[in-house]
Homo-oligomer: A and B are copies of this chain.
Amino acid sequence: MIKQELMTIVSQQQIAKNIYELTMEGELVQEMDEPGRFVHLRINGGTAPLLRRPISVAAVHQHLGQFTIIYRAGGEGTRLLSEKKAGERIDVLGPLGHGFPLEAIESGQTAVLVGGGIGVPPLYDLSRRLKEQNVHVIHVLGFQNQESAFYMEKFCDLGETYMATEDGSLGIKGFVTDAIKQFSVKGDVLYACGPIPMLKALEKENPADRGFVSLEQRMGCGIGACFACVCHPSNDPKGTEYRKVCSDGPVFPIGEVVL
């Protein structure tokens, strides 16, 4: 169920260039079932910044009643968020949307998790859950450069991990699709999150038979009421049918929506 809660910050730290890891505590964590869902954060109580910010759940710690997000401090809202300290409270709405289906893969099979930049965080939660299900996980992660990369060790601990950076400062020089080709990455199910060009490239260069992609879109409500975040389904690319990224997504089976 979707809940709204003033959650308490347990810790916040910078883990890469402009990248922050923030852990919060509260009852809302109990609702966090599927990896790949997101929370909608109200940064402060005033009128500016006005809108909530959608951020993926990066890790759930059910036994502690805590969860972690990883985000890039870029604009006004995330910059203010990065200044919050342990003990302060944040208005969290969530969990929202539909995540990565765990049941789409069976134990013993291989999942390929491909992430780019701030698309990487939800894959961490996903990878942990898949591991619990005895799924074999391969990670292919892309970043701008070494400075902006994060959670590399954590991913390595969970499974094979290939990296690509635009400047070659970490892993191979190039994009995640280059890494997939170069290391002949293959699996049963693809799970991907990252910028649209990356997802488009993956639609072509799909290292698995089936797959799921997580989309980003500017949002108003985050719950499906305002029609801000719609996209066209592939079977009606110019028509009046639609999917809402916030409530039908953010995760869609590859091929379901027009990227």
> A76 contacts which of B46, B49, B76, B80 (Cβ < 8 Å)?
B46
Residue of B nearest to A44 (CB): B46
Residue of B nearest to A47 (CB): B48
Task: Give the number of residues in A that approach B within 8 Å (Cβ atoms).
Answer: 6
Number of copies: 2
Q: CB within 8 Å of B: which residues of A?
A: 46-49, 76, 80
Give the complex CA separation of A76 and B46 in angstroms.
9
* Residues of chain B with a CB closer than 8 A to A48's CB: 46-48
The list of the 7 closest CB pairs from A to B, nearest first, reads A48-B48, A47-B48, A46-B48, A46-B76, A46-B46, A46-B49, A46-B80
* Residues of chain B with a CB closer than 8 A to A80's CB: 46
Give the complex CA separation of A67 and B49 in angstroms.
32
7 inter-chain pairs at a CB distance below 8 angstroms, sorted by A residue, are A46-B46, A46-B48, A46-B49, A46-B76, A46-B80, A47-B48, A48-B48
Give the complex CA separation of A46 and B43 in angstroms.
13
Give the complex CA separation of A152 and B174 in angstroms.
71
* Residues of chain B with a CB closer than 8 A to A76's CB: 46
* Residues of chain B with a CB closer than 8 A to A46's CB: 46, 48-49, 76, 80
Closest Cβ–Cβ distance, residue A30 to chain B (whole Å): 30
